[in-house]
A and B are shown apart, each in its own frame.
Chain A
Amino acid sequence: MNLDLIIKKSKAIEKTILRVGFECGQSAHFGGALSLTHILSSLFFGLMKHDPLNPRDPHRDRFILSKGHGVLAYIATLYESGYISAAELATFQKDDSKFIAHPVKNLDAGIETSSGSLGQGICFAIGVAEALKRKKSNNRVYVICGDGECNEGSVWEAAMLANKRKLDNFTLFIDKNNFQNDGHCADVLGDLDLKKMFESFGFNAHSVNGHNVKEICNVASLKQNNKKPTVIVCNTIKGYGVSFMENQNDWHHNRLTKKLIENEGLDINVL
C-alpha cells in the first residue's frame, strides 16, 4: 500500500471539500466531511479493489456512505479517483445537479446508494455483503457510519444480522468525530463505547486514529479467520484540517464565505 499517495490524496480531498463547498455558495456539511478524508483516501487509494474506468465491474469492492451528509468528502474522493469530472464536481448543490447534499445512487459515478436518511446504508450494505457471499465473490463491502448515526436502532438491527449471517466480507468504519447535529454525542445519548458495543454484537472490533492512514490501513488489512464482520472505530476530528472548524459543531452545516477564506488564509485548491 502506498501510504504517501494516500496521505497526499487525503490532503487533496480536504482541499477539494473546501473549494467545492465554497463555490456552491451555500451552506454545506463541512465538519462531517472533513473528518472522513483519511478514511476515504485509505479506502479508495489503498484498501479497495475498484476501477474508476469500469465503475459497474461486478468484481469491485462496494463502498457505501451510510452517513450521507459526508457527501462532500465522498464526491471529492470520486473526483480524485477519476469517477467524476471537474465539471460534474462543479455542479454540487446547483439546481438539478446529480450531486447534492446527500448521495444519490449513481452507479456510473461510483455511488452505490442514495443515503441521507441515517441508519439505512448499513442495512442495505449487509444485503450486498450477503449477496456477494452467495455469489462466492471475494469482494468486500465497506461502509462508513457516523457515531451519531449509531443512535438509529436500525444500525443495531443490521449489526445483529451481519453477525448471524457471518458476514466476514463486511467492514464498517465508524467516523467517531464525537458530534452530531445538535451537539456532543455524549450529551445527546451518553458516552457510549461503540467498540465494546459492536464487540458484544459479535464483531471484530478495533479502534484507530482516524487521521492516521497507516493505522487505518493496517487494521483494515488484518486477515480475520473467524467468520465475523469487522468494525473499525475511527477517532476523528470534526472539521479536521481547518482550525476554525475543528470541533466546532457550527460547521456541521454552514457557509464558507470569501471573507472567511481570506481572513483565515485558507488554501482551497483552486483549479
Chain B
Amino acid sequence: MYYDLNPKISKMYARMGPRATYGSSMYTALKENEDFLLLSADLGKACGLDRLKAEFPNQFINCGIAEQNMVAFASGLAREGETVFASSFAPFLSMRASEHVRMNLGYMNEPVVLVAAGSGLSLGFLGNSHFGLEDVSVMRAIPGMTVICPADAGSIPKFIKAAAELKKPVYMRLVGVPGSPIAYEEDYNLEIGKINKVLSKGNDVAIIASGSSVAQSIIASRELEKASISVSVFDCHTIKPLDKNRLQKIFNTFRILITVEEHTLIGGLYSAISEYKNYENFTNKLVGIGIKDTWVKTGSYDFMIKDCGLDGDSIAKRIQAEIKN
C-alpha cells in the first residue's frame, strides 16, 4: 500500500477509483493488524471488499442486509477493544441506521469507523435511493461524531490509517468514481480536524471544498485565473469538528468565501461554515455551491456533477457571477 503520494501513484489510485482504493487500503489494514475487523452489510463486493472475504475469514464479517444491527454489533465489538470498520452505501449506513449510530457511536461514544462507500452522486445510474446527499447533515448532528470526506482516491489510504488511529466514532464518506480528477498529485500531511490548503494563487476568493469538489475547485481556479480572479483552494476534509483556527484566518484574509460540496446545501459543509460565520459575527460574503433541495436527475456521474453545477467550469462561472453581484 502506498501512503505517500506522487503523480504516478495518485494517477494509479485515481484510475482504481475510491471503492477499489478503499478495498485495497482495507486489505493492507487487515493484513497488518490481525485485531482489525471489517463488517459489511452484504455490500462487500460493491464496496471493493470481495478479496478480503476470502483472504481474512476471521476478520471480515458479512452482517447481512441489516445495517442497524451491523452498527450496534460493531459497537459491541469496539467496546471490547477491537478496531472495527463497518461499510455500506451512504444512505443505508447514515440514514437507515442513524439512530443506531446515535445511540452507539454517539451516546455511548464507541469508536467505530463507519465507511460509506459510493456516497455523493458516485453510484450514478443506481439513482437517488442510493445517493449520499444528506449523510453529512445527519451524521454531523450527532454529538461526538467525526465526519470526514477524502478529496480523492489517493487520499483514502491515509484516511483509513488516520481513522483507525483516532479511536473515536468516525463517519467517512467516499465520493467520486474511477477517473475522477485528482486533488493531490504530490504528497501531503493529513491530520484529521485540520483544513489543508491545496492551492494558493491569491486572495480574491477562498474556495473551501470537500471530497470531489476539491479537485473540481482546482480546475475552476484555472478558469478564474484566466479571468484575473485569484483563488486559494482549501480542502475541508473534516466537516466535523471544524478547524476553527484555520477558518478564522481564512475569514480574516478573504473577503469572498465559496464552499463547494457534493452534498445538499442543507446541513453539510456550507451549513457548518455558515454556522461558524454567524457565531463569530463575520460579515464576509459566503456562497454555498452544492446540491439544491431537490431530487437530482439521474445519469452518469459526470452528467450529474455538471447538472448540479459541481464541475470545474460551472464552479468558475458561478464564482464569476457572484463576484459581479
Q: Which residues of A contact B (CB under 8 A)?
A: 105, 112-115, 117, 119-120, 123-132, 134-135, 153-154, 157-158, 160-161, 164-165
Contact A128 B66 (CB under 8 A): no
Q: How far is the CB of B184 from chain A (nearest CB, A)?
A: 36
Q: Report the separation of the CA atoms of residues A78 and B72 in the bound assembly, to the nearest whole angstrom.
A: 24
Residues of A within 8 A of B122 (CB): none
User: B76 contacts which of A119, A128, A154 (Cβ < 8 Å)?
Assistant: A128
Residues of A within 8 A of B108 (CB): 105, 113-114
B80 within 8 A of A: yes
Contact A123 B107 (CB under 8 A): no
B201 within 8 A of A: no
Closest residue of chain A to B72, judged by CB?
Answer: A123
**Partner-binding segment picked from B19-27, B98-106, B123-131:** B98-106
Residues of B within 8 A of A164 (CB): 64
Contact B61 A127 (CB under 8 A): no
Residues of A within 8 A of B64 (CB): 157, 160-161, 164
Known contacts A114-B108, A117-B103, A124-B104; A157/B79 CB under 8 A: no
Known contacts A117-B103, A131-B81, A134-B82; A153/B68 CB under 8 A: yes
Residues of A within 8 A of B66 (CB): 154, 157, 160-161
Contact A157 B69 (CB under 8 A): yes
Residues of A within 8 A of B79 (CB): 112, 124, 127-128, 131
Q: Report the separation of the CA atoms of residues A1 and B100 in the bound assembly, to the nearest whole angstrom.
A: 37
Contact A123 B81 (CB under 8 A): no
Known contacts A105-B108, A161-B66; A127/B72 CB under 8 A: yes
Q: How far is the CB of B196 from chain A (nearest CB, A)?
A: 34
Q: Which residues of B contact A (CB under 8 A)?
A: 61, 63-64, 66, 68-69, 71-82, 99-100, 103-104, 107-108
Q: How far is the CB of A6 from chain B (nearest CB, A)?
A: 28
Ranked 8 nearest A-B pairs via Cβ: A127-B76, A123-B72, A131-B80, A157-B69, A157-B66, A127-B73, A128-B76, A124-B76
Contact B77 A130 (CB under 8 A): yes
Q: Report the separation of the CA atoms of residues A130 and B59 in the bound assembly, to the nearest whole angstrom.
A: 11
Contact A127 B77 (CB under 8 A): yes
Q: How far is the CB of A105 from chain B (nearest CB, A)?
A: 5
Q: How far is the CB of B155 from chain A (nearest CB, A)?
A: 29
Q: How far is the CB of A172 from chain B (nearest CB, A)?
A: 14
Closest residue of chain A to B107, judged by CB?
Answer: A114
Residues of B within 8 A of A134 (CB): 82
A-B contact pairs, 11 of them (CB 8 A): A105-B108, A114-B103, A115-B103, A117-B99, A120-B68, A120-B104, A123-B68, A126-B73, A154-B72, A158-B72, A161-B73
Residues of B within 8 A of A119 (CB): 68
Q: A157-B63, A157-B64, A160-B64 are in contact. List 13 more A-B contacts (CB 8 A).
A: A119-B68, A120-B103, A123-B69, A123-B100, A124-B73, A124-B75, A131-B76, A131-B80, A153-B68, A154-B66, A158-B69, A158-B72, A161-B73
